[in-house]
Amino acid sequence: MFTLFGANRSGSAAIEIALTLCGADYQLVAASAWEEGAGQNELKHLNPLMQVPTLVVPDGAVLTESAAILIHLGLEFPSSRLMSHEALERTQQLRALAYITTNCYASIGLIDYPERWLPDADPDQLDRLVAGARRKLRSQWDVFSDVFYNPVAWHPHAPGAVEILASVVSQWSGAREHLGRSRPEFYASLGIIDRHPVIKAVLQRHGW
Ligand SMILES: N[C@@H](CCC(=O)N[C@@H](CS)C(=O)NCC(=O)O)C(=O)O
């Protein structure tokens, strides 16, 4: 049995989708940095950053970092096709997963917690930092579309790890609204992913 620590409208949605597509047995523990509750101490013990998703695998090992979790599940459950069996396609999947987490997800951390980067800043400086991170996030999604929206790397009708993570992470900070204007075809393909029955059910449960 897997145990997933997560919260509504957070990145744990991507892992719920992946676990469901794998047909894996899992339980959800509601816990996050921003919601005090029973799971919070356990989450902090498992992941000192207190971030979700955090996944405890059946043998008790702790996995954090959404890209690592998705790759692990893809390797453990090859028939889920979360990770491609084709080497060429897999190179682009690994690149895209690292891209989303190190670029887009990291900018969202800055937008949500600017004071972590500028602890002594006044509110005006923090606002400017957030505005800059929002601009950066928009350009990161544009570049994602330019690099990965192609038949080798992008499969909206048969979503794997990359499409799932992109569907969830692009829900935040106005990314979808921006992409609708700047990259309409890529934006439309995100809508196809959102409508996959498993993905749609999880997104709805999270209030998206
Ligand atoms: N690099 C991590 C980022 C995870 C992350 O930032 N999660 C957010 C929720 S979507 C969180 O738990 N933030 C709380 C905090 O950083 O204090 C990943 O890819 O999973």
Ligand 1, atom 16: nearest CA belongs to which residue? 51
Neighbours of 197 (CB within 10 A): 8
Helix (H) or strand (E) holding 29: strand 26-30
**C-alpha–C-alpha distance, residues 119 and 88, integer Å:** 43
Name the residue among 168, 204, 202, 170 with its Cα closest to residue 187: 170
CA of 87 to the centre of ligand 1 (A): 29
Tens of pLDDT, residue by residue over 105-144, are 999 999 999 999 999 999 999 999 999 999 999 999 999 9
User: Based on the number of CB atoms within 10 Å of its own CB, is 81 exposed (0-12), middle (13-18) or buried (19 or more)?
Assistant: middle
Please report the domains of the chain, with CATH numbers, ordered by start residue.
Answer: 2-80 (3.40.30.10), 87-205 (1.20.1050)
pTM of the complete model = 0.97
Tens of pLDDT, residue by residue over 16-72, are 999 999 999 999 999 999 999 889 999 999 999 999 999 999 999 999 999 999 999
Instruction: Supply the pLDDT for residue 38.
Output: 82
**C-alpha–C-alpha distance, residues 25 and 153, integer Å:** 29
**Ligand 1 neighbour 103 (Cβ under 6 A):** no
